[in-house]
Amino acid sequence: MSNAKPAAAWKALESHAATMSKTHLRQLFAEDRKRGERMAVEAVGLYLDYSKNRVTDETLRLLVKLAEDSGVRDRIDAMFRGEKINVTEKRAVLHVALRAPKDAKILVDGKDVVPEVHSVLDRMAAFSNRIRSGEWKGHTGKRIRNIVNIGIGGSDLGPVMAYEALKHYTDRSLDCRFVSNIDGTDFAEAVRDLDPAETLFIVSSKTFTTLETMTNARTARAWSLAGLGGDESSVAKHFAAVSTNAAEVTKFGIDVANMFGFWDWVGGRYSMDSAIGLSTMIAIGPERFREMLSGFRQMDEHFRTAPFTSNLPVLMGLLSLWYNDFFGAQTVAVLPYEQYLKRFPAYLQQLTMESNGKHVTLEGTPVEHETGPIYWGEPGTNGQHSFYQLIHQGTRLIPCDFIAFAKPLNVVGRHHDMLLANVFAQTEALAFGKTPEQVKAEGTPDWLVPHRVFEGNRPSNTILAERLTPETLGKLVALYEHAVFTQGVIWNIDSFDQWGVELGKVLAQRIIPELESSSEPALEHDSSTNTLIRRYRAQRS
């Protein structure tokens, strides 16, 4: 970090961390009986309890100072103003414009982008309504019953996550499926029981050049044509495209009337509320989609205006940075106690790790601090019966985000109270553990005591909302988007490029002809890669 101000803030936190590493949550709670009430923030309908973190008021003061001295406020304003803060790609970063109200004005290169955003949303709504009502007919005159989104990364994970998260609100007479992997099994299994006459493919790709997506799209085109008698005119009825690249869409043969655009200032992993969300809109309807956008917008406004001490994304970003940079924590576990959020951790993996997995600063010099932690997780209570053992008694510090809702979407007997009891029990057990004295007092033989001791002092956040709705989902996603942003600014990295995915793509393109060549290719890789390629060629035939 070249700037002296953040350098001093880092130093102050380092010496504070030395004290805090010796402080137990039991002590912090004993010293302040109101800690659990005090160390919580409620904003836009989300309640964040961060009291079970290894922090004091002083920690928060120092972390907020780090954010201030790192220029987080200026960078938030720069993002909302449409400045080209994605410096390596020379692009604005404006996912916030995707949910801006109609009367907002956001300029990119002197042009207001908000009218275009709303015009695409309106076209998506008209298209979705035609599919949902059955007015849109397939080539043979049958109505569309199946939507297959073909995309990968941000053009897949957002749509899949949102479809699963909002399944409760979907039209069950329509089936949405998702094909992402270049592994042919993904496509084969997705379409095996589908009737081409009732199936609409949405080819979603920002660039419309991604190997996996274009390969799957061509396979889908062939499958669809084969099932519809080979009439090329059927493509217009069974294919839509979502892309920034109109030229490639036309080349592929998809009618531009069925194309929904977005812009280079929307990063793939920040695009689920752009036209990339077309499958989501078809599934839940335009009204609900707009409710989701409203949720995003409410969190955007909170992030833009709230003081850092009560700013949910800033606090979440700072807390995970605290463990990542001062306690050597390598990961963050995201544990939604809501079955519908089963794909949320996978979605967050791209959002957080593609954004902040960077080793150089904006100036291109090596970073001085550890950057993006590894995000992972599973819905509760399933994880409790597999990996929670390590979180409770392993040797690693794993900060956890618990996410829960007061009202269930499916009222089934006593299930919801039992589910929520588990959330509260887990955070309590992680924080306070069980001392050797307590274990002994239960009559445990001495030899077994160490095995049954829970050290506690394991930090967690609890996010509690009333109910999982499209609006709540928008708020949750924006919460993590902006937490990632906050961290990226403090680490002084570009959270919006992804050069790290390039090398593997280039090498794969070089290897494909070597695998497909009918004669033995001259291989010039390393000895391991050469041997693997030869072995594959031999075994395959």
Active site residues: 354, 385, 505
205 counts as binding ligand F6P under rule CB under 6 A = yes
CA 279/CA 530 separation, integer angstroms: 42
Query: What track of x and - describes contact with ligand F6P for positions 154 through 183 (by CB under 6 A)?
Result: xx----------------------------
Query: What tokens does 223 get?
Result: 């499958």
Q: Which stretch binds ligand F6P (CB under 6 A): 21-29, 85-93, 150-158, 314-322?
A: 150-158
Tell me the residue type at 202: I
User: Hey, which residues between 46 and 65 contact ligand F6P (CB under 6 A)?
Assistant: none
CA 185/CA 187 separation, integer angstroms: 5
C-beta of 202: minimal distance to ligand F6P in Å?
A: 12
Residue among 372, 319, 351, 300 at smallest CA distance from 67 = 319
Q: Kindly tell me which of 152 and 284 has the beta carbon lying closer to ligand F6P.
A: 152
Bridge-partner residues for 403, per DSSP?
336, 463
Residue among 499, 269, 487 at smallest CA distance from 367 = 487
C-beta of 46: minimal distance to ligand F6P in Å?
A: 26
CA 312/CA 307 separation, integer angstroms: 10
Q: Kindly tell me which of 268 and 317 has the beta carbon lying closer to ligand F6P.
A: 268
Those residues whose C-beta lies under 8 Å from the C-beta of residue 108, and which sit 6 or more positions away, are: 82, 92, 94, 263, 265
C-beta of 154: minimal distance to ligand F6P in Å?
A: 3
Q: Which residue is nearest to ligand F6P (CB)?
A: 268
Residue among 188, 199, 250, 204 at smallest CA distance from 225 = 199
213 counts as binding ligand F6P under rule CB under 6 A = yes
Q: Which stretch binds ligand F6P (CB under 6 A): 151-159, 218-226, 254-262, 480-488?
A: 151-159
216 counts as binding ligand F6P under rule CB under 6 A = no
C-beta of 261: minimal distance to ligand F6P in Å?
A: 13
Tell me the residue type at 170: T
Query: What tokens does 384 get?
Result: 């409790």
Q: Which stretch binds ligand F6P (CB under 6 A): 170-178, 203-211, 332-340, 446-454?
A: 203-211
Q: Kindly tell me which of 356 and 498 has the beta carbon lying closer to ligand F6P.
A: 498
Q: Kindly tell me which of 215 and 384 has the beta carbon lying closer to ligand F6P.
A: 215
Q: Kindly tell me which of 7 and 508 has the beta carbon lying closer to ligand F6P.
A: 508
Measure CA of the first residue to CA of the last residue in the chain; give whole Å. 55
95 counts as binding ligand F6P under rule CB under 6 A = no
CA 228 from centre of chain: 37
The dihedral through the CA atoms of 438, 442, 446, 451 has a sign that is negative
Q: Kindly tell me which of 291 and 354 has the beta carbon lying closer to ligand F6P.
A: 354
Residue among 256, 255, 147, 249 at smallest CA distance from 206 = 249
User: Hey, which residues between 349 and 378 contact ligand F6P (CB under 6 A)?
Assistant: 354
495 counts as binding ligand F6P under rule CB under 6 A = no
C-beta of 221: minimal distance to ligand F6P in Å?
A: 17
Query: What tokens does 238 get?
Result: 């069974």
- Annotate 347-375 with DSSP letters as a single string: HHHIIIIIHH--SB-TTSSBPSS---PEE
Burial of residue 176 (CB within 10 Å: 0-12, 13-18, 19+) is buried
Tell me the residue type at 376: W
User: Hey, which residues between 248 and 277 contact ligand F6P (CB under 6 A)?
Assistant: 268-269
Q: Kindly tell me which of 218 and 440 has the beta carbon lying closer to ligand F6P.
A: 218
C-beta of 6: minimal distance to ligand F6P in Å?
A: 28
418 counts as binding ligand F6P under rule CB under 6 A = no
C-beta of 216: minimal distance to ligand F6P in Å?
A: 11
Those residues whose C-beta lies under 8 Å from the C-beta of residue 419, and which sit 6 or more positions away, are: 337, 380, 381, 404, 408
Q: Which stretch binds ligand F6P (CB under 6 A): 14-22, 152-160, 362-370, 402-410?
A: 152-160
The CA R_g of the chain, rounded to the nearest whole Å, is 25
Q: Which stretch binds ligand F6P (CB under 6 A): 199-207, 284-292, 332-340, 510-518?
A: 199-207
CA geometry: angle at 422 spanning 421 and 426, to 5°? Answer: 120
- Annotate 423-459 with DSSP letters as a single string: HHHHHHHHHH-B-HHHHHHTT--GGGHHHH-B-----
23 counts as binding ligand F6P under rule CB under 6 A = no
> Residues 454, 434: contact at Cβ < 8 Å?
yes
206 counts as binding ligand F6P under rule CB under 6 A = yes
501 counts as binding ligand F6P under rule CB under 6 A = yes
Query: What tokens does 85 get?
Result: 């803060």
Q: Which residue has the tokens 């109609």?
A: 102
CA geometry: angle at 309 spanning 304 and 313, to 5°? Answer: 50
> Residues 241, 259: contact at Cβ < 8 Å?
yes
C-beta of 532: minimal distance to ligand F6P in Å?
A: 23
C-beta of 247: minimal distance to ligand F6P in Å?
A: 14
Q: Kindly tell me which of 60 and 152 has the beta carbon lying closer to ligand F6P.
A: 152
Q: Kindly tell me which of 69 and 354 has the beta carbon lying closer to ligand F6P.
A: 354
**Interface residue with ligand F6P, options 23, 88, 207, 384 (CB under 6 A):** 207
Q: Report the interhelical angle of 470-491 vs 312-326 (nearest 10°).
A: 50
Torsions phi, psi for 23 (to 5 deg): -100, 135
Q: Pairing mode, if any, of strands 239-243 and 331-336?
A: unpaired
**Interface residue with ligand F6P, options 63, 152, 315, 400 (CB under 6 A):** 152
C-beta of 512: minimal distance to ligand F6P in Å?
A: 17
**Interface residue with ligand F6P, options 82, 153, 313, 488 (CB under 6 A):** 153
Q: How many residues form the binding site for ligand F6P (CB under 6 A)?
A: 14
Q: Which stretch binds ligand F6P (CB under 6 A): 83-91, 149-157, 400-408, 511-519?
A: 149-157
Q: Which residue has the tokens 């010099």?
A: 365
Which residues contribute to the site for ligand F6P (CB under 6 A)? 152-155, 205-207, 210, 213, 268-269, 354, 498, 501
